[in-house]
Amino acid sequence: MTVTTRAELPEDAPATRRLHMAAFPGPDEADLVDALRRDPAWLPGLSVVAVEESGLVVGHALLTRLQIGEGWGLALAPVAVAPEWQRKGVGAQLVRAALAAAEAAGERLVVVVGDQHYYARFGFTPAFEHGITADFPPEYIGALALARDDVPRGHCRYPEPFGAV
Ligand SMILES: CC(C)(COP(=O)(O)OP(=O)(O)OC[C@H]1O[C@@H](n2cnc3c(N)ncnc32)[C@H](O)[C@@H]1OP(=O)(O)O)[C@@H](O)C(=O)NCCC(=O)NCCS
């Protein structure tokens, strides 16, 4: 069975919530996504879902607006794949699709907090190498520049819903 990626549609929201409930041990990420939907940080088109042939949502990668210093970038979080679909390359397909959509939209930098062993394969390197800091241990923060010029630097201020997690 093949999996394709596309921008999430408003009507996908309940399926995306069910996916996060299945992929994570508790409701925190599902609640975070729903809170971000109502936040100014939400960017239609940069919420990407993976769907199997039947149309079922089996993965989700979310990019939201992130203040970095005096400038703006994107936060990649969360990323989730349905348990029965994990380790089949769907996560990588999703992250690459989300990054391609961001680049096409003219975005300049993406920050990700998490296991950098996983995100290094997409080109993320330690955030401090980009002059980026955040309220997380530095070894968990990665950054990927999508442009050569006007790339933001400084401290990340995550959208308010992230503080509620
Ligand atoms: C992390 C996750 C999105 C990866 O998706 P996936 O479709 O399984 O990933 P892929 O098939 O593209 O890649 C598999 C790789 O992911 C790694 N991986 C799987 N789960 C991981 C996790 N929780 N943390 C770090 N790496 C993970 C595997 O080790 C494998 O790496 P390898 O190629 O070096 O062996 C998915 O496993 C998932 O939804 N996990 C639960 C939710 C979660 O922890 N999300 C990340 C934090 S937001």
Residue 165 has pLDDT above 90, yes or no: no
Residue 148 has pLDDT above 90, yes or no: yes
All residues at 6 or more sequence positions from 109 whose CB lies less than 8 Å from its CB, including other chains: 68, 73, 74, 130, 132, 143, 144, 145, 146, 147, 151, 152
CATH value at residue 141: 3.40.630.30
Q: Would you say the CB of residue 112 lies under 6 angstroms from ligand 1?
A: no
Domain that holds residue 25: 3-163
Mutate to test the pocket of ligand 1, among 52, 79, 86 (most ligand atoms within 8 A of CB): 86
Which is the closest atom of ligand 1 to the Cα of 59?
39
Question: What's the predicted TM-score (pTM) here?
Answer: 0.95
Q: What is the mean pLDDT of residues 20-45?
A: 97
Q: Where are the beta strands (DSSP E) in the chain?
A: 3-7, 42-52, 57-68, 71-81, 109-113, 125-126, 132-133, 141-145, 154-157
Could you give the number of structural domains in the chain?
1
For 117-138, how does the pLDDT look when each residue is reduced to its tens digit (9 = 90+)?
999 999 999 999 999 999 999 9
Q: Would you say the CB of residue 122 lies under 6 angstroms from ligand 1?
A: no
For 78-123, how does the pLDDT look when each residue is reduced to its tens digit (9 = 90+)?
999 999 999 999 999 999 999 999 999 999 999 999 999 999 999 9
Q: Map 24-67 to HEC letters.
A: CCCCHHHHHHHHHHCCCCEEEEEEEEEEECCCCEEEEEEEEEEE
CA 78 to ligand 1 centroid distance, Å: 12
